[in-house]
Amino acid sequence: MEEFIKPQNLSLSPQQLSVLMPYLVVMTGGLITLLLGVFRKAVNMTVPVAAFSVLTMVLAAYSLFLVWGEPTVSLFNDMMVVDNFSNLFNLIFIVATGLVIVGSNQYLVREGIEHFEYYSLMLFSCLGMMFMASAKDLIVLFIALEIMSIAVYVLVGFKRADTRSNEAALKYFILGGLASAILLYGVALLYGATGSMNIQALAAAVQAGAASNLLFVLGAALVTGGLLFKVATVPFHMWMPDVYQGAPTTVTAFMTTGLKAAAFAAFVRFFMNLGYGADLSSTLYSGLYKVLWVSAIATMLIGNIIALTQKNIKRMLAYSSIAHTGYLIVAILCGGRSEYGYSSVLVYMAGYVVMNIGAFAVVAMLSEKNDRHTNIEDYAGLGFKKPLTGLAMTIFMFSMAGVPPTVGFAGKYLIFLSAVQAGEVLLAVLSVLCSAISAYYYLRVIVFMYMKDPVPGRAMNHTLAPAFVIGISAVITMQLGLFPSVLIEAAKKAAMMF
């Protein structure tokens, strides 16, 4: 009988330990924030905990920097892997979480929810995301997904006294649980069909002809469905606008960026390892191809069209987030057959995270208690009343619309180029037309900011920390838009791993 537990796989070599450092830092940080919170009877611990969380993120970024560019390291009996791909995604998660945490405190105080658990949950969720990007085994993937999601279920309902927040949390919890169950069922079927949950072993099984096995196909379909649910493609998008609108704005920023990026990280790793893309001849791949093709078009079209009619900016950004998911699905669809592979997913995701956090930071900063003043018309006159904030929001909006020279254009550039290279000209044309639709609702924000007169008495207060986040995001959006080479090279290295 084969020996399952190998002692040599239970101890960590120094190299393995060093690549695990970012994960350990975030985990330890999360645990310490919990311990620090114990002292809340004596002093208000929110600000110290927030500061400590930021410190954790800085340390995590530093430890990531130390292992940046190291060769691939396999961990825990090949259940997990740290490579350029996971490193780049980890950087995205750390930057996203860090920026959201910096911008959160003022919002929490205003809403009267300044509890230290907020920060612990953010850190744990971030840890889950990091594991998701490096999971090589479907069961690790599932556990990582749950670590990430459970923390966020709580965060969504963090405004305990607010019915919308409660509704959002419940909705998200039930539907998220359903998605997890679907995913897990798919994993079980795949295990039944192949006897393994390791992605590489699955790929080998596909090579050996497992794709003709009905059990395998069903399992693959359920896993894909679960992932599509997590990234909220049409028709699995129904939960998203309500959740995004009901959740505290800072949590929404976290969800649209970190969570989405993590789901895509898992998605891409799954697809890349299965060797999808290069060859569409088998039933499995051509089936997947059709599903993704239809889902990409539907997601872009429905996301953009419904966003046109939104009056609330959080809801508008939620639908726009659905539309952006559509572009990312296009990237996944075409990645395997284009020269730079899946690097377009990474570039787009990185850009989207930065501009989206910036936009939500503006929304969070300018809203008032109980999320008042989050309608687009509440931005009337912002551009001339607060020129810098107006400028930053303008940058974010143009970037989301994909207008050069912003990072949004760099991302769209790669996606559309890869679509053309993959021979998907029709898909590329439909995507750009959808992106032209999207320009309308992004421009509407600018219309209100610059072309309407301000409402008298509207304060538009500014506070330091969110303004800092907005500034940083705006600078990165422009910087990566004007000089995208750094990002493109990093993404290329990350995506060429497979």
Partner 1 sequence: MELISSSIVSLTVFLPLIFGLVLLAMPADTEAGKKLLKTAALAFSLVVFLVSLGLYGRFDASYVGFQFVESIPWIESFGISYSVGVDGISLWLIILTTFLTPIVILGSWTAVEDKLKTYYFLILALETGMLGAFVALDVILFYVFWEAMLIPMYLLIGVWGGKDRIYASMKFFLYTLVGSLLMLIAIFYVMSQYKAQFGNYSSAILELYKVKTAFDGFWSPQTLLFLAFALAFAIKVPLFPLHTWLPDAHVQAPTAGSVILAGVLLKLGGYGFIRFAFPMFPQAVQYTAPVFIALGSIAIVYGAWVAMIQPDIKKLVAYSSVSHMGYVMIGLFSLNHLAVAGSVYQMLNHGISTGGLFLIVGMIYERRHTREISEFGGITRIMPIFAVIFMIVTLSSVALPGTNGFVGEFLILLGVYQVHKVWAIVAGTGVIFGAVYMLWMFQRVMFGPIRNEENKNLKDLSLREIIVMAPIVVAIFVMGVFPNIFISKMDTSIKAFLAQINV
Q: Give the residue, chosen from 55, 143, 175, 439, that forms a contact with partner 1 under the rule CB under 8 A.
A: 439
User: For partner 1, which is the closer residue by CB, 263 or 401?
Assistant: 401
User: For partner 1, which is the closer residue by CB, 24 or 451?
Assistant: 451
d(CA 74, CA 81): 4
Question: Is residue 403 at the binding interface for partner 1, with CB under 8 A as the rule?
Answer: yes
The one segment of 39-47, 53-61, 447-455, 462-470 that binds partner 1 by CB under 8 A: 447-455
User: For partner 1, which is the closer residue by CB, 65 or 483?
Assistant: 483
Question: Is residue 204 at the binding interface for partner 1, with CB under 8 A as the rule?
Answer: no
User: For partner 1, which is the closer residue by CB, 106 or 418?
Assistant: 418
Q: Give the residue, chosen from 51, 67, 305, 432, that forms a contact with partner 1 under the rule CB under 8 A.
A: 432
Residues 6+ apart with CB under 8 A from 456: none
Q: Kindly state the DSSP code that residue 342 receives in the 8-state scheme.
A: T
Q: Count the helices and strands in the chain (H runs, E runs).
A: 20, 2
Q: Give the residue, chosen from 112, 212, 283, 489, that forms a contact with partner 1 under the rule CB under 8 A.
A: 489
User: For partner 1, which is the closer residue by CB, 293 or 413?
Assistant: 413
Question: Is residue 308 at the binding interface for partner 1, with CB under 8 A as the rule?
Answer: no
- Give the closest residue to 215 by CA, choosing from 192, 237, 231: 192
d(CA 143, CA 127): 11
Question: Is residue 447 at the binding interface for partner 1, with CB under 8 A as the rule?
Answer: yes
Task: With CB under 8 A as the rule, give the number of residues binding partner 1.
Answer: 34
Full DSSP string of 38-57: GGGGTS--HHHHHHHHHHHH
Question: Is residue 451 at the binding interface for partner 1, with CB under 8 A as the rule?
Answer: yes
CB of 488 to partner 1, least distance (A): 6
Full DSSP string of 240-305: HHHHHHHS-HHHHHHIIIIIHHHHHHHHHHHHHHTTTTT---SHHHHHHHHHHHHHHHHHHHHHHH
Q: Give the residue, chosen from 124, 229, 254, 409, that forms a contact with partner 1 under the rule CB under 8 A.
A: 409
Q: Give the residue, chosen from 47, 109, 181, 425, that forms a contact with partner 1 under the rule CB under 8 A.
A: 425
CB of 404 to partner 1, least distance (A): 4
Q: Give the residue, chosen from 398, 454, 473, 474, that forms a contact with partner 1 under the rule CB under 8 A.
A: 398
Neighbour-count burial for 23-57, b at 16+ CB within 10 Å, e otherwise? bebbbebbebbbebbeeeeeeebbebbbebbbebb
Give the number of other Cβ atoms within 10 Å of residue 150's Cβ. Answer: 18
- State CA 57 to chain mean position distance: 17
343-366 helix and 387-401 helix, angle to the nearest 10 degrees: 150
CB of 428 to partner 1, least distance (A): 5
SS3 447: helix
Taking CB under 8 A as the criterion, which residues in 329-368 touch partner 1?
Answer: 339-340
User: For partner 1, which is the closer residue by CB, 3 or 453?
Assistant: 453
Q: What tokens appear for 252 in the block?
A: 């929404």
- Would you state the torsion angle of the CA atoms of residues 412, 413, 419, 423, taken in this order, to the nearest 10 degrees? 150
Question: Is residue 298 at the binding interface for partner 1, with CB under 8 A as the rule?
Answer: no
User: For partner 1, which is the closer residue by CB, 55 or 439?
Assistant: 439
Question: Is residue 497 at the binding interface for partner 1, with CB under 8 A as the rule?
Answer: no
User: For partner 1, which is the closer residue by CB, 51 or 420?
Assistant: 420
User: For partner 1, which is the closer residue by CB, 85 or 416?
Assistant: 416
Residues 6+ apart with CB under 8 A from 326: 233, 234, 296, 297, 298, 299, 300, 301, 303, 431, 434
SS3 134: helix
CB of 425 to partner 1, least distance (A): 7
The one segment of 58-66, 76-84, 417-425, 467-475 that binds partner 1 by CB under 8 A: 417-425
Binding region for partner 1 (CB under 8 A): 339-340, 384, 387, 398, 403-405, 409, 413, 416-417, 420-421, 425, 428-429, 432-433, 435-436, 439-440, 443, 446-447, 450-451, 483-485, 488-489, 492
